Structure 1
Amino acid sequence: MTATAPLPDTAGLRSRFDAELANFLDRQDPDWPDGAPRGVFRTLHRFVLAGGKRLRPLFCYWGWRGAGGADGTPIVVAAAALELFHAFALIHDDIMDGSERRRGEPSVHQLFADLHARSAWRGDAGSYGRNTALLCGDLCAAWSDQMFHECGLSTDEVHQGYRIFSLMRTEVIAGQYLDLVSGVGDGSVASALTVIRMKAARYTVTRPLQIGAALAGAGADLMTALAAFGDPLGDAFQLRDDVLGVFGDPAVTGKSILDDLREGKRTVMMALARDSADRNQALRIKTLFGNPGLDADGAAELREIIVATGALDRIEQMIRVRTEAALAALEQAPVVPEAREVLAALAAEAVDRRL
């Protein structure tokens, strides 16, 4: 394939992804089973279309363009399908983490728990919320598969990309389990880095890039080059995400800066802080970190310890090193020049952000 159409801007692409997601969801409306309450459908429609950076569809699209694929509706639809899988991952992750907010709104399980409580229904509101959200996530995963297969590309092209799509799904679920294991393990820097590579980094950058490239018929050399770019960039993205989870502005990120600390999320940053803490700092970390009753003052004390131990500075250095490695690999990657320029800009957007 050869690229012939003008390269659209990133904002325009995001709008096209959203339009295709809205079209797909609207087509599901008439097929919603008779007699089934429509609360799940309405909630998912709102959740999927309510914001999000659309990074995974963007990387998928530019993986396609980087491999020489031309712009067109089918690749936009295929890339947008990854956002439905992302919705599945977010909904389930919020349940497992006990996160009450997502994108500035109540998380899906919290929405349904609140509905149960307002309606004065029988049973436990929290259990109802979690169970309903699990079904919502499952439905998003099924819809993602459907949308990907119905994108309009040829059967052979879809099969080429679907192999990587399937690998991505397996890695995400395995990474989520590894995250659970790490929560009861040693909490080392090495184990935390393994979790972010499996659970988030490849799923955010590498696999979407490779899915797009595979759809375009890319060979092994390009797939390897995209991994050399995507893996360190995905790591840097997740390290930035962990920093924002503790030091970000909730009004901008849409998430509480207490959740990760209350949960005791085993991030690289916290592993570094523990490794460098003195005796008093270590005792305070043990007391405060993972305490579900942690308040704003306790969180502020933990942030001071993270800074004082040098953990924040070391994370920033790790982000810089990985970003530089990704950009160096991109320079050598056999992608079309226009795609290289856009991918470099996306790399900067992924790591230099407040969201």
Structure 2
Amino acid sequence: MHVRNEEAGPLTLVQDTPQAVQVPAPAGDTWSMTAGARTRGTTALPAAPPAAAEVDRVRAAVHIALTGFLDEQRDVLAAMDPALLPVADEVRALADGGKRLRPLFAYWGWRATRGADATEDDAAVLRAVAALEFVHASALVHDDVMDGALTRRGRPATHVGFAARHGDGRLAGDGETFGVGAAILVGDLALVWSDELLRRSGLSPATLIRARAVWDTMRTEVTAGQYLDLLRAAGGLPGAQGALTVARYKSAGYTVQRPLQLGAAIAGAGREAAEVCTAIGLPLGEAFQLRDDVLGVFGDPSVTGKSADDDLREGKQTLLIALAEEATDDAGRRLLADLLGNPDASTADFDALRSLIEATGARARVEDRIADRTELARTAIAEAPFAEDARAALDVLAVAATTRTA
């Protein structure tokens, strides 16, 4: 069954038994997990091999679309001045990493809701959803600047890399300032290129108009979420609810909900599809971000590509921290105040913080919420009036997004 609600008009944005699954992963990534570790009466969809194979096909097609586009853009920048080539190469390095979750959710949002009269071809849709990777790259670069992060996916963060380039080239001025300025511009360029790739994807003008409604909302939300993150770091939006608000707008919405709605908009689906996408996307996006928070503190650096101390050193005010602060005593709160965000703290200090997070039950409570949010999303997927292959693929992605190790 396909979700088609033409009477409702174009897509309307809405605000608000275990089985092992092996998901093919990009090179250098660890992405295998067990589905359905906790259930609340939901009949879990089987992760059929064809669904996993299709996920892999889409990921490969997105890589090809990005590579071709970046090859062209590198030539454009080289024609301006060869000194711009490091900028092009940095965007490529950022776009080469990751699991392609956002394009995958968008593609399957399209596959789930397209009707027999669908006019857009598969290749054009794949190019369009690939543009989401540039939005993500932009957000990563800017986030690393604001957090003062040192690494990203096993390599220096963009501002760190350009600061080193400044020193290697014996350029004038302050290297750190140069690195931050260059990173801001790299992030801006990635955002510009996201628009260009979407526009040049081959989608029809009418489809592009529908897609832009979701696209613009998504980009506004992620930018607003970045500001809310800054505000929370400065003492605003306190407590667990503040952490969840930041997670929703900074990451959850543009990771699952809006990509799903983008695919549905490309398909020409209506209000019902938007509501189904929200029912799936909001809880799943939150679970994805909470998993990211846990990995940022308890992940294996050899798998995540970053030190497990980084989030603590940067002072990230995640739900883990909010719950630990609520549950601990005065001594624990002093420990958090002294060590969280302290650049001079040692690994032993951060081990003490990790012990506090464990002892207060904060980590267990976050894991419980991840399980609950994931199960809610999987229930919505199982009950969605979507094509069967789309439901199977979305269930595979839901498990992958929330039980990953990197």
Aligned partner (choices 239, 245, 257) of residue 308 of structure 2: 257
In structure 2, C-alpha distance between the alignment counterparts of 1:314 and 1:45, rounded to whole Å: 38
Aligned partner (choices 79, 86, 103) of residue 57 of structure 1: 103
In structure 2, list runs of 5 or more residues that go unmatched: 4-49
Q: Within the alignment, does 1:246 sit opposite 2:283 as a pair?
A: no
Q: Within the alignment, does 1:9 sit opposite 2:60 as a pair?
A: no
> Normalized per residue, which structure has more helix?
1
Q: Within the alignment, does 1:276 sit opposite 2:327 as a pair?
A: yes
Q: Within the alignment, does 1:92 sit opposite 2:179 as a pair?
A: no
Structure 1 position 283, deviation (Å)? 1.4
The normalised TM-score by structure 2 is 0.84
Residue number in structure 2 paired with 1:27: 72
**SS of corresponding position for 1:207:** helix
Residue number in structure 1 paired with 2:41: none
Amino acid at match of 1:131: G
Contact 1:187 1:266 in 2 (8 A): no
- Inter-CA distance 204–161: structure 2 relative to 1 (3 Å threshold): same
Cα deviation code 1:36-64 (max 9, x no counterpart): 51221122223322x21110000000000
Residue number in structure 2 paired with 1:198: 249
Residue number in structure 1 paired with 2:211: 161
In structure 1, list runs of 5 or more residues that go unmatched: none
Structure 1 position 135, deviation (Å)? 0.7
Contact 1:13 1:58 in 2 (8 A): yes
In structure 2, C-alpha distance between the alignment counterparts of 1:186 and 1:278, rounded to whole Å: 22
Cα deviation code 1:166-185 (max 9, x no counterpart): 00000000011011111122
Amino acid at match of 1:279: D
In structure 2, C-alpha distance between the alignment counterparts of 1:227 and 1:304, rounded to whole Å: 36
Please identify, of 23-32 and 264-273, the stretch whose mean Cα deviation from structure 2 is larger: 23-32
Structure 1 position 11, deviation (Å)? 1.8
Residue number in structure 2 paired with 1:309: 360
Contact 2:2 2:386 in 1 (8 A): no
Aligned partner (choices 159, 184, 192) of residue 134 of structure 1: 184
Contact 2:149 2:310 in 1 (8 A): yes
Residue number in structure 2 paired with 1:144: 194
In structure 2, C-alpha distance between the alignment counterparts of 1:227 and 1:2, rounded to whole Å: 17
Amino acid at match of 1:200: S
**SS of corresponding position for 1:57:** helix
Contact 1:222 1:335 in 2 (8 A): no
In structure 2, C-alpha distance between the alignment counterparts of 1:99 and 1:244, rounded to whole Å: 15
Structure 1 position 71, deviation (Å)? 6.2
Q: Within the alignment, does 1:45 sit opposite 2:96 as a pair?
A: no
In structure 2, C-alpha distance between the alignment counterparts of 1:219 and 1:255, rounded to whole Å: 41
Cα deviation code 1:172-210 (max 9, x no counterpart): 000110111111225300111000011100110000010
In structure 2, C-alpha distance between the alignment counterparts of 1:31 and 1:262, rounded to whole Å: 39
Identity of aligned residues (%): 45
Amino acid at match of 1:209: L
Residue number in structure 1 paired with 2:225: 175
In structure 2, C-alpha distance between the alignment counterparts of 1:2 and 1:291, rounded to whole Å: 52
**SS of corresponding position for 1:9:** helix
Q: How many correspondences in the alignment?
A: 352
Amino acid at match of 1:171: E
Contact 2:112 2:390 in 1 (8 A): yes
Contact 1:196 1:238 in 2 (8 A): yes
The normalised TM-score by structure 1 is 0.96
Residue number in structure 2 paired with 1:80: 130
Amino acid at match of 1:34: M
> How does 1:205-216 map onto structure 2 within 5 Å?
205-216=256-267
Residue number in structure 2 paired with 1:329: 380
In structure 2, C-alpha distance between the alignment counterparts of 1:120 and 1:301, rounded to whole Å: 41
Cα deviation code 1:12-44 (max 9, x no counterpart): 221111111000111223322423512211222
Amino acid at match of 2:149: S
- Inter-CA distance 58–338: structure 2 relative to 1 (3 Å threshold): same
Contact 2:309 2:350 in 1 (8 A): yes
- Inter-CA distance 280–2: structure 2 relative to 1 (3 Å threshold): closer
Q: Give RMSD over aligned pairs.
A: 1.7
Aligned partner (choices 334, 337, 343) of residue 292 of structure 1: 343
In structure 2, C-alpha distance between the alignment counterparts of 1:207 and 1:186, rounded to whole Å: 24
Amino acid at match of 2:355: E
